[in-house]
Structure 1
Amino acid sequence: MNDRKEKKTKRYRPNVAAIILSSKYPEKVEFFIASRSDVRDAWQFPQGGIDEGESPKEALFRELKEEIGTDEVEIVAEFPEWVSYDFPEMIAKKMYPYDGQRQKYFLVRLKPGAKINLETEVPEFVQYTFVPYGKIFDFITYFKRPIYKKVLEYFRKKGYL
């Protein structure tokens, strides 16, 4: 008799994430972070799902327009691999049938004159700020910290930050 439980294959939602640098980059390195409208005190980088037939870059620009009201950015660099995380229990039910997200990260710079507008059709964020590298983790929600650290460290080692 086989007592092993069948291992459930996890399902990850394809997703893009934008690490946005202010238009003052590279002279001044400061990061855009925003507080979610649906989870109190949950600060993060903008991110969103990749639609069927859409490339990660197409999704990046669409999601930025939908979430922060502008797609006026230039891509500085791309994280070379996909990274995954599991949703915490409080979010998992809302995101069913997915167990987590599989993300492609882009480091982008706001173009001079780009206007951020959080009052989008479906507001994702209630406020935003720009912070230096050393302050990011004072804000970021706990379950995103390991991936953010991995991705940011990569961009630092490559000389972008």
Structure 2
Amino acid sequence: MTTTDKGPEGYRPNVGLVVFNAEGKVWIGHRFGVSGDYAWQFPQGGVDEGEELEAASLRELYEETGIRSVTPLGRTKDWIVYDFPPEVLANKRIGKNFKGQKQIWFAYRFTGQDSEVNLTTHGEQEFSRWEWCDLDSVIDRVVHFKRDSYRKVIAELRTLV
């Protein structure tokens, strides 16, 4: 599947990643440069034109976390969509030309050591810190406008572990 596959128009194609450790906890990161308790999220990122979605997911995972040691568990069946709130739409870097994001989510099992995580692997740092979190605690730590999409992702991917 590539970015040319069907999905709602007007939304930025994106991939999201849920990385489970051996204990069934998930990797979450606190957004770099963002303060507050609701700045945690799973890794995610844009898809380059013509890029295969799974390739984009592995690229984004490495760029944002330094993680390469994963085995695939599965993915969401369809695009999961969320709209940007007005404050994000006003940010020309993030909200430019899109009303939100459409995401295919991939689940992976982390098979490496925690020392593999390197938040400065790629030029633009996405996260300031990270931790392994209980899946049921994630929603309460995510920014409000992503919560419904995270509920859908969690409901669909939790069965893979």
Shorter-chain TM-score: what band? 0.7 to 0.9
Identity across aligned pairs (percent)? 35
Cα offset, 1:123, TM superposition? 0.4
Counterpart contact for 1:86–1:99, Cα < 8 Å: yes
Q: In the TM superposition, what are the counterparts of 1:1-161 in structure 2 within 5 Å?
A: 11-22=10-21, 24=22, 28-41=23-36, 42-94=39-91, 95=94, 96-113=96-113, 115-120=116-121, 121-156=123-158, 159-161=159-161
C-alpha distance in structure 1 between counterparts of 2:59 and 2:102, whole Å: 18
- Unaligned 5+ segments in structure 1 are 1-8
Cα offset, 1:111, TM superposition? 1.6
Cα offset, 1:151, TM superposition? 1.6
Count of matched residue positions in the alignment of Structure 1 and Structure 2: 147
- Unaligned 5+ segments in structure 2 are 1-7
Could you tell which deviates more after superposition, 74-83 or 113-122? 113-122
Cα offset, 1:112, TM superposition? 2.6
Counterpart contact for 1:10–1:99, Cα < 8 Å: no
C-alpha distance in structure 1 between counterparts of 2:73 and 2:32, whole Å: 28
Give the TM-score taking structure 1 as reference length. Answer: 0.84
Give the TM-score taking structure 2 as reference length. Answer: 0.84
CA RMSD of aligned residues (A): 1.7
